[in-house]
Amino acid sequence: MKEIKRIALVAHDNRKKDLIAWADWNQEVLVRHKLYSTGTTGRLVEEAIRKRLPLDAAARFEVTKLKSGPLGGDQQLGAMISDGEIDLLIFLWDPMQPQPHDVDVKALLRIAVLYNIPTACNRSTADFMISSPLLDDRYEPVLKDYSGYIGRPVLCD
């Protein structure tokens, strides 16, 4: 990972306000990095951060917006993670609301773990990640070699 991180921001509907409040609170740090987000969340985060920036900086600031989560945005992010294009994932998901695309959510979280991407699923963890001295430095995550798993049967309880 380079000094400028590629940060993915995702939030379920009931958690969008929380993510926007968090992004607004941390906008000074976030604008130094490249932000990616699923659909509506990206638009809302971009609007919140632009409001606090000077006019010239606001015009340059952009969140790269993918599709909405249920329309494939979670899968797009998963592909970006597996291609080494995302460094951190902040995903405020709603533990109290069933999601119609729950399998996509689980797949995204699985890929983040598989590729050892720092992942925050709540605001406290996001606060720790964003305030880490590692955020602005180069960092090489240790990747586990899963090649030995290929072709082996998967045992389930």
Catalytic residues, by residue number, are 74
Burial class of 118 by CB neighbour count within 10 A (0 to 12, 13 to 18, 19+): buried
Q: Residue 116 and residue 87: Cα distance in Å, rounded? A: 9
Q: Residue 64 and residue 8: Cα distance in Å, rounded? A: 9
Question: Six-digit token pair at 19?
Answer: 């993510």
